[in-house]
Amino acid sequence: MLIDRGGPSALLACLVLSISACGGGGGGGGGGGFPVAGLGPGAGVPTSTGGPNPSDLSSAGDDAIAVTFDGSLDGFFIASSNYPQPTPVLIKAKLSRDPVGTVYPVIVDSQQVLSTQWGGFTVTKGPDGAYSGYLTPKAGMAPGVYSGKLQLRLCKDPACAAEYKLTGGEFPYKLEYAADVTLTAKMNGTPVKDIRGMTSVSSGKTMQFVALDGAVVQVESNIPVTWTVTSSGTTKLLAVATQTDKLVSGTVMTGSMSGSIEVKAQPVDTRYKYIATVSLLPQ
C-alpha cells in the first residue's frame, strides 16, 4: 500500500510500502477478493501533479464502493521512555463490493502522522470479508493535538490517473503528543548543573546539586505541576516565598550538614504517572 504524504508535486511524498494481494493476485489471506498491486522495495514511485482529473475517475455508470472502517487511531503519547510509545493499530475496512481489476490502494496522510518504522504495510482479507492491516502513529511528533482524517483511495493505475469511486473512504484520527515534565534550577539567579553535569531533569529522575545556606533556589517546570517540598534527614529547609504551578522559589535555611531538601514535581495532568525531583544537598 502507498501512503500519500500530501506533497505538492507528488502523489506520494515519497513512501512506498508493499501490500500483499488479497486473493486474485496471490499471497492474500481469506480467499477471493480483488487483486491488489504490490509495490516492492525496487518499485518506482508514482507521481502526480496533484491528484486525478475528475473526468478520469470511474465512469458515471459505476456504482460507488461504500467503505466502512472498524478501529480507532486515537492516542496520547508522552515523549519519555517511561511511557508507552505508538505501536501498530489494527484497522479493518469492509467494502460494499470488490472492485473489478487491479487496485492500487493509497492512504492520503496530509499531516504525516503515520510511521514507517514497522516496515511494509500488509493487507489481508478475513473470513468475514473485511480487509485488515496495521497503521502506526509516528513517534516523536512535536507536542500538540493532531486531528484529521486519513483518506483511502483505490486507484486503477500506479499514477492514480483514475480511481474507483468511494463513499466513506475517510478515517478520522486524533493523536495528542505531550512533552515530558522537565525541571531546571537556579541558585541566586544563576542556572545550576547537577553534580553529574545535567542541566535539567525529567520524569522518574533526580537532579542533585549543593545548595548554599542563605541561597535563593528557584525550580521551574515546563508544564503545570503540584510541588512538594520536604526535608529528608536534615534540619535544613527551603523557606518557600513564591509558588505557582510552574515555579517554586525559596531560601535555604541553615541546619544540619546531612540529608537533603527534596523538591518534587507531580504533573497536574493525571495522565502523567511519574514525578521529577530536584534534591538540594548540604555544603
Nearest to 77 by CA among 135, 151, 146: 146
Q: Order of strands across the sheet with 124-125?
A: 124-125, 131-135, 89-95, 65-70, 166-167
Fold of 2-178: Immunoglobulin-like (2.60.40)
Sole residue written with cell 525529567 = 202
Q: Indicate the pLDDT class of residue 125, thresholds 50, 70 and 90.
A: confident
pLDDT of residue 120: 54
- Tell me which of 61-65, 177-181, 268-272 is least confident: 61-65
The answer to whether the CB of 70 falls within 8 A of the CB of 171 is no
Q: What is the mean pLDDT of residues 172-183?
A: 97
Percentage, residues of the chain above pLDDT 90: 62
Q: Any idea where the domains of the chain sit in the sequence?
A: 2-178, 182-281
Residues 182-209: pLDDT tens digits? 999 999 999 999 999 999 999 999 999 9
pLDDT of residue 227: 99
- Tell me which of 17-26, 86-95, 111-120 is least confident: 17-26
Residue 130 has pLDDT above 60, yes or no: yes
Residue 144 has pLDDT above 90, yes or no: yes
Q: What is the mean pLDDT of residues 19-24?
A: 29
pLDDT of residue 1: 54
Residues 50-60: pLDDT tens digits? 333 333 333 43
pLDDT of residue 121: 61
pLDDT of residue 235: 93
Q: What is the mean pLDDT of residues 154-181?
A: 94
Residue 28 has pLDDT above 50, yes or no: no
Q: Indicate the pLDDT class of residue 62, thresholds 50, 70 and 90.
A: low
Q: Cα(9)–Cα(12) distance, rounded to whole angstroms?
A: 9
pLDDT of residue 9: 25
Q: What is the mean pLDDT of residues 71-78?
A: 94
Residue 218 has pLDDT above 70, yes or no: yes
Sole residue written with cell 503545570 = 224
Percentage, residues of the chain above pLDDT 70: 76
pLDDT of residue 49: 28
Q: Indicate the pLDDT class of residue 100, thresholds 50, 70 and 90.
A: confident
Please tell me the pTM assigned to this model: 0.74
Beta bridge partners of 263: 229, 278
pLDDT of residue 146: 97
Q: Cα(161)–Cα(228) distance, rounded to whole angstroms?
A: 62
Q: Cα(279)–Cα(259) distance, rounded to whole angstroms?
A: 10
